[in-house]
Amino acid sequence: MNAGAPEDGFQIIGTSGTVTTVAASHLGLRRYDRTKVDGLTMTSAQIDRVIRDYLMLGPEGRRADPRIGRERHALIMSGAAILQTLMRIWPTTRLSVADRGLREGLLYAQMVRDGVLAPESLNGVA
């Protein structure tokens, strides 16, 4: 499948890790700020541009970048390769970034399905 033309109604949502790091870099943030990253939409071209910048930084530059950090510098390029591959094979050219809410929403939905939580007790949370 090629991502040449997005299918109507199809969307991809990325959470945590590489996706949120790439989003922070795309925005030019000096430090990660989830309030600015959460809900952002990026195109494949914007994602590719950030990843090219990461390549130009090299390992030491990535380690020194406060958006990536010492703990993640070795993982970011592997995550970037996976992200670029997904963007090329999924039928969309846009990625929505979620830094909160998605996992919690999935958990609430599963709890409702399992009968552990009543839908009316959510009060619009999920």
- HEC per residue, 60-75: HHHHHCCCCCCCCCCC
Give, as one character, the DSSP assignment of residue 7: P
- Contact status, residue 18 vs residue 83, Cβ threshold 8 Å: yes
Strand 94-98 to 41-43 pairing: antiparallel
Q: Which two three-digit tokens encode residue 9?
A: 């109604």
Stretch 39-59: mean pLDDT, rounded? 96
* Residue 46 CA, distance from chain mean position: 13
**What global pTM score does this model have?**
0.75
Tokens 């090629």 belong to residue: 2
Confidence band, pLDDT 50/70/90 cuts, at residue 2: very low
Residue 39 pLDDT: 87
pLDDT digits (tens, 9 = 90+) for 59-116: 999 999 988 988 888 899 999 999 999 999 988 899 999 887 666 667 767 778 888 7
| For residue 126, pLDDT beyond 50 | no
| For residue 43, pLDDT beyond 90 | yes
Please say whether the structural domain 13-100 has been given the CATH code 3.40.50.10420: no
Residue % of the chain over a pLDDT of 70? 83
| For residue 122, pLDDT beyond 70 | no
pLDDT digits (tens, 9 = 90+) for 7-31: 566 778 898 889 999 999 999 999 8
